[in-house]
Amino acid sequence: MSGDAGKPTPQALVGLDVGTTGVKALALSPDGAVLAVASRGYPLSTPKAGWAEQDPEAWWLAAVSALAEVSAGREVAGIGLSGQMHGLVVLDSADRVIRPAILWNDQRTAAECREIEERIGLERLIGLTGNRALTGFTAPKLLWLRRHEPESYARIARVMLPKDYVRLRLTGEWAIDASDASGTLLLDVERRAWSDEVLEALELPAGWLPPVLESPERAGARNDQSQAAPVAVAAGAGDQPAAAIGVGVDRPGPVSVVLGTSGVVLAALPAYAHDRAARVHAFCHAVPGTWQAMGVMLSAAGSLEWFRERLAADASFEALVAEAERWEPGAEGLHFLPYLAGERTPHADPDARGAFVGLELRHDRGALVRAILEGVAFGLRDSLDLLRELGAEATVGRVSGGGARSRLWLRIVASVLDLRLETTESEQGSAFGAALLGGVAGGVYADVREAVTRCVRVRETIEPDPQWVARYAELHVRHQALYPALHAVRVAP
C-alpha cells in the first residue's frame, strides 16, 4: 500500500456518475461507509427550443477534478462509472469530438422516431430492443445527424454514450456496458449484443459501436501517479440501473421506487420480457446475464415542485405536506393527474396534460397537495402493475429520491402500492451503485450480489396503512378512468 512514511492508506472504491447537471464522485469503504463525496457542475446548452446539448470536455474536466478530490490519500481498489443514458457522443478517426453531445432530454428527433418505426416495424422493433423509438434514445439522433448535419455525420468513426467518453479519456478503452447500450435502440436486448437487423434497417455501420461488456467487467485501468498500481475501471451502468444496484435491487424481489423529479419503478426480471406496447422499458440489468423492466413517469416530485413554485412560493415543502396531512385519503373526491410534461408510463403520450378533477368549495391548498401526493402514487402503481404483468416479483420497495424525505408521502405510496417500503442508509444514488461495480472489477467482491450484501443497509421501514390500502384501491380505479376521458376531450374536434 502507498502512504506517507510507509503508512498504509485506507482502501476505497470510487463511483463516478456523469449526470446532466454535473459529475458526482464518491469514495466508499469496502463495507459501504461513505468516505468522501465531491461534485462538479457544468452548463447545459439549449441552442434551440427543445434541444439539449453539452460539451464532453466539460464532463472530462469535472470528472478529473472530482476523482482527484475523493481519491486523495486513499488506495483506490476500483472505479465504477454511471451516467445519463441515451446521449450521443460522436468522435472522428483521431478520437476528436465532432460536435456537442445531444442529450437524453433533447426533443428534436420526432420525425426520425417515426422513420425508425416505419423502417423496422413497431412490433419487431419492440421485440428486438424492448422499446419503441423515443426522442431521447440514441439511434434517432444518428439519423437526425445524417439528415441535418451530413458533414458531421461523414466524419463519424466512433459512437459512444456520456460515461463511456469519460472512460475513454480515463483509460484509453473504448467500451460500453449492456445496460447503457439498451438505451440506444440499437441493442438486441435479449441477446445482449448489437442488433445486425436494426443496424441494417437504419443503414448504420456496426464498426462505429464499441464492444458490449457486462457492468462489473473490467474495462481498462487508470494509471495514476498517486496510486501504487493501475486501478481497475468497471464497465459501469446507466444511471437508473446503477441506482438500483445502490439500493439493493440486484435480483427479483426488491424493486426500486424513485420519487425524484421524475418517478421510476424498476424491477429485476427472472428472464427477458418486454411489454408488447412498450409502456415500460426493457433493458439489460447491471447484473451479468439478467434483465430489468422500468416504468417512468415524467413528473413525480416535479409535480409538487411545480405547485410550490407556481402557486405556493411562500410555503416550504414541509408546510405544504403538513397541510395535506389534515385531509383524509381521497381528499373528498379530488384527483390529480400528474401529466405536466406529457407521460411515458403507462400512456406513452407526449401530449398528455395534467389536471385537478373534482374541485369543490371546501377544498383548500392542503387538499390540492394531498391530491398531488396521491396522484403521483397512483402513477407509480400503474408502473408496478405493468411490471408484474411481465413477471416481476415485488416483495419490498427500496425508495429513494427527494420525495422520500416526506413521511406522509411514503405512507401514501406504500398504501397505494400495497407494498412495504424501505429507505437505505446511503442516499448517494447512481454513484453508490457505480462504486460497488468498481469493487467487483477491482476484486474486492466476487460479484454484485456480494457487494450489495456487504454494503446496502436498510435504515427505515414504512408499512402500508391497512385502512388506507382498500380505500386507495378504489381510488386507483377512478384514477385510471380519468386519462381516457380527458384524452377524448383533448382530441375532440
For 333-386, what is each residue's pLDDT tens digit? 999 999 998 888 999 888 889 999 999 999 999 999 999 999 999 999 999 999
The band of 6, judged by pLDDT with boundaries at 50, 70 and 90, is very low
Higher pLDDT, 103 or 427: 103
Per-residue pLDDT averaged across 303-315, rounded?
A: 95
* Percentage of the chain exceeding pLDDT 70: 98
Can you give the pLDDT at residue 3?
43
The one-letter amino acid at 12 = A
Would you state the cell numbers that stand for residue 330, as one nine-digit string? 381521497
pLDDT tens-digit readout, 163-196: 999 999 999 999 999 999 999 999 999 999 999 9
Q: What pLDDT is attached to residue 123?
A: 97
pTM assigned to the model: 0.93
- Are domains 10-238 and 248-428+463-493 of this chain identical in fold? yes
Residue 71: all three cell numbers together: 481519491
Exposure of 39 in the CB half-sphere (CA atoms within 13 A): 8
Element (H, E) at 333: none
Instruction: Quote the pLDDT of residue 342.
Output: 86
Q: Please report the pLDDT score of residue 4 as a whole number.
A: 46
Cβ distance 340 to 354 under 8 Å?
yes
Confidence of residue 225 (pLDDT cuts 50, 70, 90): confident
Res 25 pLDDT > 70: yes
Q: What is the mean pLDDT of residues 30-49?
A: 96
Q: For 318-328, what is the mean pLDDT?
A: 97
Query: Which residue reads 416483495 in cell numbers?
Result: 395
What's the maximum distance between 2 C-alpha atoms anywhere in the chain? 80
Tell me, what's the pLDDT at 7? 43
**Residue 9 predicted with pLDDT over 80:** no
Active-site residues, by number, are 239
Query: Is residue 398 pLDDT above 90, yes or no?
Result: yes
pLDDT band for position 5 (cuts 50, 70, 90): very low
Question: To the nearest 10°, the Cα dihedral for 287, 293, 298, 299?
Answer: -90
Please give the backbone phi and psi of residue 403, each rounded to the nearest 5 degrees, phi first.
-65, -20
pLDDT at 288 over 60: yes
CATH 3.30.420.40 fits 248-428+463-493, yes or no: yes
Say if residue 468's pLDDT is above 50.
yes
Domain limits, the chain? 10-238, 248-428+463-493
Residue-wise pLDDT for 122-154, tens only, equals 999 999 999 999 998 999 999 999 999 999 999
Topology of domain 10-238, CATH: Nucleotidyltransferase; domain 5 (3.30.420)
> Model confidence at 224, in pLDDT bands (50, 70, 90)?
confident
Nearest to 163, CA basis, from 53, 237, 98: 237
pLDDT band at 10 (very low <50, low <70, confident <90, very high): low
Instruction: Give the model's pLDDT for residue 427.
Output: 85
Which pLDDT value is given to residue 256?
97
What gap in Å lies between CA 158 and CA 93, rounded to an integer? 7
For residue 119 the three cell numbers come to 423502417
Mean pLDDT of the chain: 95
Q: Once rounded to an integer, what is the mean pLDDT over residues 204-225?
A: 96
Mean pLDDT of 79-87: 97
The gap between the terminal CA atoms of the chain, to the nearest Å, is: 73
